[in-house]
Structure formats: structure tokens, C-alpha cells
Amino acid sequence: MFVISQKTSYTWPVAVEFPVDGGKSEKQTFDAEFKRVPQSRMAEIKAKIESGDITDIDLAREVLTGWAGVTDANGDAVPFAEGTRDQLLDVPLVASAVVMAWMNSLTGAKRKN
């Protein structure tokens, strides 16, 4: 059975590999809530990516609608809001990781642990 009406969003894991001392990296993860984008908008996004008319930050702002597992330096949960979203996306490597996770969610890539 296929249900034509879908929820407006869904969650998907995001992993960010941060460089650390010694030529190593440290993986940090959170669960992103992604907006379900209509096929017509996905075609527009694809064209903008191919032409270089959209950045990872712009695309991440459009599709990221919430999260779980984002904390501050004290380990306290950081609630999602436009300001905190923009603060998170300004951290190097995060916007690209969000976009990659969103794209993987659309291609059916399986979650790797």
C-alpha cells in the first residue's frame, strides 16, 4: 500500500567529521528534521546546484526544520530556532554534512553505524 499524503517532515542522522590534532578526525552526530520537498522544487534545487546558484548553507537553511542531539558546551540541549540553526550552519563542515545527509535520505542511502 502507498499513502499519497506524507508527513511534512522526517528525521535523518547527520554525521560531521571534524579534524583534530594528529591528523585525525572526530565524528559528531545529531538527528536532523528535514522538510519534505516537492519533486518540482527538487528539480529547481538540482538545477541551482549544477549552475552554482545555491550554497550548502542556503540549501541547509531551506531543508533543516529541526533537530535532536544538538547541545552546547555544557551538554545542555539547544532548542531549534532560526538563530541557532544559522549558528550551527556557520560551523565549518556542518552545512555540507547537512546537505549530504539530506541528499542521502532522498537516494535511500542506509544509515551506517
Q: Which residue has the higher pLDDT, 108 or 20?
A: 20
**pLDDT at site 109:** 59
User: Rg of the chain's alpha carbons, rounded to an integer?
Assistant: 15
Spans of all domains in the chain: 9-107
Helix axes 56-63, 39-51, angle to 10 degrees: 170
How much is the average pLDDT of 80-85? 96
State residue 65's pLDDT score.
97
Evaluate if residue 113 carries a pLDDT over 50.
no
- Under a CB-based contact definition with an 8 Å cutoff, are residues 37 and 60 in contact? no
Q: Is residue 11 helix, strand or coil? A: strand
CA distance 54 to 52: 6
The pLDDT of residue 110:
56
pLDDT confidence of residue 6 = 79
Assess whether pLDDT exceeds 70 at residue 85: yes
